[in-house]
Structure formats: C-alpha cells, structure tokens
Structure 1
Amino acid sequence: MTLLLTLPAILIVILIGFVPVFKAFLDASIVDGLLSVSNFQYIIQDNGFFFSLKISILWAFLNTIIILCLGLLIAHFLNEMKRWKTLYLALLVPWGIPLYIGVPIWRSIIHRGSGFSPLNLIGLDINMLTDPMSAFLSALFVSVWFGLPITVFVLWGAMATIPKGLTDSVKLDGGTNTTLLFNLYLPTLKPTLVTMFVLNFLKFMKEFSVVFLMTDGGPPLVSGFTKRSIIGATTTLDIFIYDIFMGRNETGIVSAYSVLTLLVVAFMMVLWFLSSREKPNLIFLITITLVAHLAVGGCSGLIIGPLYLLTFYRRGCFAPVLLADIATNLITVLSLGFLKGLNPATIVSFLVFMIIRKQAGSQRVFRGSERAFKIMKYLLISGVIIAALLPLVHLLWISLSAVSTTFIDSPLPKFLTLGNFKRVMKEERILRVFFNTLLVSALTGILTPLLTFHLASFLRKHRGTFSDLMIVLLNMAGVIGGMHTLVPLYNLFNSIGMIDSYFPIILIYSAHAIPFSVFTIRTYLSTIPASLEDQARIDGLGSVGYNYRILLPLSKPVLTTSFIVAFLGAWNGFLVPLLFIFSDSKYTIGVKLYSYVGSLGSGYTQWNLFGAAAVINLLIMGLVFYTFRGHLGKTPLSEHYE
C-alpha cells in the first residue's frame, strides 16, 4: 500500500521530466511515418545552433566563475563580520525579487531607452539595442546579481562547519585574511566549490528568463548571420530554440534542436555526477574531454584533443595540455572572431581539470596586504548594498510617476501620483491576475507535499535498487528541464487540447518542486526516532497508519516548508505561463507584468503601471513570508513546537 501511494509523484516526475525527452527524439526522428535523419541534416547545414552553443558555454562559464569568486569573498566577509545583518539583507533582495520584476527594472536602469538612462547621471551611456558587447555584459551583470545570493549562502554555511580552532591557529601564526581565504577556506571548500561550479554551469547553460527579459537575444553579431538564422550577442541555446519554436510550425525541426540541446545538457549532467564522486574516474573524464574536442572542437580540437591522451600515462600532463589548449583557443578567436574561432571544448577541459584537482591542496602560504583586503572588502560590500537598494528605489519611483518614464532626475517624480495603483486595480483588473496566480500557486503548493510525503517516507525507510533508482531519477529531473523540454511538453499537451489552461502549468511546477520536497522531507523524517515506529507497531498501527497518525502531524513544519517553496516557485514562474497561456483573462502576474514593458525593443511601454503592479506583488510576497515565518526552522519533537 505504501509503495502504491508513491506512484503519483513518480509518474508526474516521469511525465514532466522524461517523457518530453522521448517525444523530442520521436518527433525529430520520424518524418512521414518513417525513421529519418533529415531534420538533423537540416540543422547541421546551418551554423546557427553551434554559434548559440558557443555563446551559451561562454555565458555559463563567465557567470559561474564570477559568482564563485565573488561568492567566496562575500561568504568570507560574512563569516568574519560581527555585524553582518545589513549585508545579509542586501543579499536577500535579489534572492527574493522575481525575475519578471528584477530584470525589467535593471533593464530600465541600464539601457538608454528614449534617449535617457539613470546611468547617464554618472557618465555611462549604454545602448543594448545597438552595442553587442554592452548587451552581453549588462545581461551578465544582472544574471550574476540574481545568482550570487544562493552561492554565498551555501559557501557561508560550509565555512561555518570549519572548527574555529583552525581559524584561530592561522591567526596566531601571523596569517592574514588572505591566508585564511587561500590556505584554509579554499582547500577545505574545494569539493563544495567544484560541485557548485558544475551545478551553476549547468544552470546557466539553460538560462532563458534573464536573457529574454533583458536583451531578447541581443543585437545581431557581424558573424552571426547564417543561412537560416540570426545570432545575437545573447542568443543562448534556449533563446535560440524559443525563436525557432515561435517562428516555425515544423515540429520535427524544433524537436531536433531540442534533442541536440538535450544531448549537451546530458553531457554536462555526466560531469556533475562525476564531480560528486569522492574519487573521480580519470579514464572516463579524459575520454569525455577527448569526445568534446572531436565533436565540437573543429580543426583545433582535432589537434589538441588527442594530446589529452598523454594524461593516461602521466597525470601531471593535463595542466600543460590545458594551457596549450587555452593558448590555441585565444589565437583562433583573435584570428577568426569569437563565433568561428571559439572552441567550447576548452571550457569542458577546464571543468574536467577542476574535478581532477578538487582534492589537491596548495603548499604555498599566501600573506596578502590587510589594507588592500579591507579596501576590497568595503568596496564589494558597498557595491552589494547599492545594487540591492537601487532597483527597489527605482521601482518605487516609477510606480509613483504619472508619466511612463524610467529616467530619474529628481528625488520624487515631478508628477507624483497614486493613480497608477488605482488604474491597475480598476482598469487593468490586476486583482483577477493575482487570483489566477494564487490559484496556480496554491494548487501547486498543496499538491507538492501531498505527492511527496509518502515517497519521502518510503525512501527514508527502504534501501535498495528501487530507492537508489528513485534518487537518481529525482536528481536528473531537478536539472534536466529547460526550454528544450518545454517545447516537446507543449506539443504533447497541445495534441490533447490542454493548451491555454492551468492544468499543464500546475503539473510542471509541481514536478519542478518534487525533488527538493522529497529530499527535504526525507532528511527531516530521518531525525525522528525509530522507536516511535516500534511503539506504533506494538499499538497495532501499520505502515500507512503510522505515516498518517504519527509522522504526518510531526512533519507539519517541513510540509509547510515544502508548500512555501512550491507556492513561491509557481508564483515567481514566468517561462511556463508565457508558453502555455494565450488568453488575457488567464494571465498570471509574471506574464501580465511582461505585457506592460515587453522586450528590449518594444515601442509602447507602461513603466508606471508595471511599477505599481510590481510593488503590489512584492507586498503580497512579503505577506506570505511573514505569515509562514513561524513554521520554518522547527525540528520534530521540539519543545517549542505545539
């Protein structure tokens, strides 16, 4: 009976996470009822996909490197500071603001739309419509701003596990903050850093919302014009697939692009699994490096790739071969240009190098200048705080302006008004939109813990092949999704007439929340004494009765956490309703806010209405956090838990 109760969660994960993979393969491989590779031949004849792949890999690499470097520094500051609440609150701002609010606000701050930008006041003139480099770097900045907090919190938590005696010993021996960072924290946290590197890289490889809302693919690159596509400065793989999906009615072609993207994601998932192992498989890693160079490395890959085979005979050869690989890559990029010259396999080689070296430590003792370190510390902390306050102030300002403008030239708008809030309430019927969002979010939030409680209980109690398989499936389901799986899902639900309804949206958001919910509930249940179940059996309770009458009441805090995470995930969602909802009356808040400001090149924008609706949305989210704050952080059988 217990196993039967786990089936709904398993089936939803399979339907949303893995059925699209098989459907994409079928749609791409079957033409007129026969197996065919014509769709893949069509793609290979055009460089558009491979150009967008290079942009995606560079985008993911730069995001990951910058976030890890800044995250390590800020985590170190937080770990050493006595008064850390201001910095902590500043980090909560990008973590708590939905993408569909934060990205347009940053776009309005950075971009010189209608001839003006707030950055003009400090001498910066950025036009993301015409300057590819400005578009890429601006989107990169916003992506780092959103991605930084979670990495900081993970590294800060890892630093807190290091015994205080070790840090005191370093200081007694004359070590500086630089010594602590490079000789204690960095070697100790290297496995965590490698895992975060691979996970962040995989996440940013599938980036869509930030790029779409910020630059919509960016201005075209000079070498980005191909036979069938135009590649912009920020045309990542998911943006490329979205453009193909919206512009073509040929399911087979779109599915073929999705299949190739899935293969890239699967390749990165293999690296993720290898990075999580205590002792990486060197032969497998070198083989992956060689395959990457032969598959996407071009002429330079055919030369450099086989050199990595030397590592089979001498492990120390990997570093010099990697340096030669990087040097060759730089030369080809300088001579042929970015899109034609970049070898993306070089970045894969760098990832493999990090995995191989994650257990290695440095013998050199670093003793940097304390003064320089303090200057960098205060500059970075000031930057984080300013970057947290600026979008909030900007949002409030435009919400109070009677004119749709993003140029702030005075402390208060010249045409100060509260009329925008009245307009979105009466004319725009924003309450209806919030009700739609509440309906989707509440059903997702309720469904998620109901689906996952029995599965988490089963995985906690049983060990074996089935449990191991479920854990692997949940891990894969948590990272495999993206535009490349949403397109086949759209085709699947469209074939049964369920587009423009909330049912697929709720299923998709529930599937996204299930892995986190299962692992969280499972960890929580493992802290409950096993003697309770023995006592329940003596009293005549079976497994199902024990789950409902004992575990379920004790699990109220973690079930509430599961509800909140799933609820907020659905409330903050943008991409899924953007694809699946067409009717204005069914819009969720993310799509409604997007309709006010559109993409970067939109001619008619209503920033004042966007600001008013966004402020109301943030107030509602704050109310949700405040309402459920008392249920978080409690443990089973706690004396404070009633």
Structure 2
Amino acid sequence: MKRKGGFFSRSIVRIPLIIWSLAVLYPIVWMILGAFKSNAEIYSNPWGMPESFNFGNFVDAWTNYNIDISVFNSLIVTGLGALLTLAMAIPTSYALERMRFRGNRLLFTLYISAMMIPMVLGWIPLFFLLMQLNLLDNIFGLAIVYAVSQLPFSIFVLTSFMATIPKSLEEAASIDGMSPYGILWKIITPLSTTGIITVTIMNMIQFWNEYFMALIFLQSEENYTLALAIDYISNETQYTNAWGTLFASLVIAIVPVIILYAIFQRRIVKGMTEGAIKG
C-alpha cells in the first residue's frame, strides 16, 4: 500500500511536469525540423519529418540575410557586456560586503532596488545620452548599456557568495602584508568562482537574447545583433515566404544558448542555491 501511495503521489507531481515539458519542447522540435524543409514541404506537411535534411536554409540565412555579421555582432556585444559587468560588479560587491563605511547599507539597498525598476523607463534618457557620447548605433555603446543594466543582479548574487567566505582568510592575508586589491583578486575572486560563472552565464544568455534595447540603440543593418536580424527575416518572410530560412536563423540563435546552459547547468543551479544561503 505504501508503494502504491508513493507512486501515486509522485505521479501527481510528475505528470503535469511531463505535460509542461512536452508543451515547451514540441515547438522547438517543430522549428528545428522546419529548418531542414523546403517551403513546399512546410506548406504540404508542416507537422511531419522532412523528406531529406537539407542545409540550404542555413546557407541562405548565413549568406543572403547576413546572419554571419549579426552573429559576430552578438558575440562582441555579449562577450564585452559580460566582461564589463564582471569588471564593475566584483570590486563593487567586495566593497559593499566587506568594507564598512558610512552609507554602506544604503548604497547596497539602492543597487538592489534598481532590480525592481523597469528598464523601459531608462530607454529614452539612454538614447539621448548615447547620442551625446557618439555611441548611438554602436555595438560597443550597446555593450556598455547591457553591462550597466545587469549590474544590480550581478552585485546581488556576488555579495551573497562573498558573504560565505570566512573573514579569517582576509585577516591572515592582511597580516602577511597583502593589500586590499591583492585580497580581492587573489583570495576573494578565486573563492567566488561558482558565483562568477553563474552571473556570467545568466548575463550572457540575457545579452544574447535581448531585443528591445538593440532595436532602439542600433539603426544600421551592419550593426544588427542576431535578434534584430531574425526580426528582419521575419518581416521579409511575410512577402517572400522564406519560412525555412526563418526557422534556420532561429535554430542558429537558440543552439548556442542550449549548449551553453547544458554545459554549465550544474554550476548555475549550484550557484543560485549557494548564493541564496547567506552567512
């Protein structure tokens, strides 16, 4: 009876999760299959398997729709944005968590409160600010905006990690004559590797998929990120019926994210759970 009861209770939890997983995975599988179909196959057999796995849609997206340039732009924006975020978040988190000064808690509260402010409220001021700095329609300016936008979240996670590091390690290093900068980069940063990886992966996924700020701050097609290029193909598809090319471009966009998350899944879960336990 206990085994039957346990199986029933587990089924109550698992069945909705299985249904939800199928609901999420099916459109992705359908999109991947559509990327290998011709337009005729998509219209005649939209839900079936392709007759042959043809990579022509990927070649068309890569060459005729300049997805190659957009992928390169997204890589630059994502990588540079993630590095800038870490460069600002690591020392700021250390200062807020370890150094006691007047206004310390207030400043930390302001950073965390910024997570609750919708980013849309800053788009218009940022537009004019980037214009004055000659960074409008510039992927490096967009990378700076991305880095600043994710700074509150990064500080929130990293301060939680740094709080779990014993202060005795810093005190011992300080007695040995190590400077605060040496303590930060040689002791605190290596011990916060899990938190840094978690923050970096989450930020990179956010930057790679971001659309609205790129739409506002980028205007030239040669500066388009992948999200904007896919939107352009989507608009063109209404008149050219290049559905296979659109599906192929979507596959190009999501595959790196899936691979990245699959590789670092355990680290991300570990980082989020460890960072939630403070002290």
Q: CA deviation at 1:417?
A: 2.7
Aligned residue in 1 for 2:110: 473
8 Å CA contact 2:142–2:217 kept in 1: the answer is yes
Change beyond 3 A, Cα 1:424–1:410: same
C-alpha separation in 1, matches of 2:266 and 2:29: 29
* In structure 2, distance between residues paired with 1:551 and 1:526: 10
Preserved CA contact (<8 Å) 2:119 2:149 = no
For 1:456 and 1:578, locate their aligned partners in 2 and report how far apart those are by CA, in whole Å: 31
Matches within 5 A, 1:305-454: 380-381=16-17, 383-403=19-39, 405=42, 408-413=45-50, 417-454=54-91
Q: CA deviation at 1:449?
A: 1.3
Partner of 1:301: none
User: Where do 1:605-624 residues align within 5 Å?
Assistant: 605-624=241-260
Match of 1:567 in 2: 204
Contact 2:112/2:153 (<8 A) preserved: no
TM-score (norm 1): 0.38
Contact 2:89 2:154 survives alignment (8 Å): yes
Letter in 2 for 1:489: L
Question: 1:461 aligned to 2:80?
Answer: no
Where structure 1 has 5 or more consecutive residues not aligned to the other structure, the ranges are 1-79, 84-373, 636-642
Q: Is the 8 A contact 2:84 2:144 kept in 1?
A: no
Contact 2:34 2:46 in 1 (8 A): no
By relative contact order (CA 8 Å, sep 6+), the higher-ranking structure is 2
From the superposition, tell whether residues 603 and 429 of structure 1 become closer, same or farther in structure 2 (CA, over 3 Å): closer
Which of the two has higher C-alpha Rg? 1
**Aligned pairs, number:** 262
3-state SS of the aligned residue for 2:250? helix
Candidates 228, 233, 239, aligned match of 1:591: 228
For residues 411 and 484 of structure 1, the distance between their equivalents in structure 2, rounded to whole angstroms, comes to 44
Which residue of 2 is the match for residue 19 of structure 1?
none
Q: 1:569: Cα distance to partner?
A: 1.3
Residue 548 in 1 paired to residue 190 in 2? no
Pair 1:558 & 2:195 matched: yes
Give SS of 2:39's match: coil
Matched AA of 2:261? F
Code of the aligned partner of 1:559: I
Letter in 1 for 2:151: I
Q: 1:399: how far off?
A: 0.8
Report how far residue 559 of structure 1 moved: 1.7
Q: 1:629 to 1:390 in 2, by over 3 A?
A: closer
TM-score, structure 2 normalization: 0.82
Give the Cα–Cα distance (whole angstroms) in 2 for the partners of residues 435 and 512 of structure 1.
22
1:596 CA drift (Å): 1.2
Secondary structure of the residue aligned to 2:65 is: coil
Structure 1 residue 525 displacement after superposition: 1.0
Partner secondary structure for residue 608 of structure 1: helix
Matches within 5 A, 1:43-82: 81=10
Secondary structure of the residue that 1:441 maps to in structure 2?
helix
**What is residue 209 of structure 1 aligned with on the other side?**
none
* CA-based RMSD: 2.8
Question: CA separation in 2, counterparts of 1:390 and 1:477?
Answer: 36
Q: 1:526 maps to what in 2?
A: 163
Q: Alpha carbons of 1:409 and 1:524: their partners in 2 closer, same or farther (altered >3 Å)?
A: closer
| 2:58–2:249 Cα contact (<8 Å) kept | yes
User: What stretches of structure 2 of length at least 5 have no aligned partner?
Assistant: 1-8, 273-279
Q: Is the 8 A contact 1:448 1:562 kept in 2?
A: no
Structure-2 change in CA distance of 1:465 and 1:421 (3 Å) = same
CA pair 424-494 structure 1, distance change in 2 beyond 3 A: same
**C-alpha deviations, 1:196-220, integer Å up to 9, x for none?**
xxxxxxxxxxxxxxxxxxxxxxxxx
d(CA) in 2 for partners of 1:495 and 1:422? 39
Q: Partner of 2:121: helix, strand, or coil?
A: helix
- Tell me the percent identity: 23
Aligned to 1:577: 214
Query: For 1:76-225, what aligned pairs fall within 5 Å after superposition?
Result: 81=10
- Counterpart code for 1:476: S
CA distance in 2 between partners of 1:502 and 1:390 (Å): 34
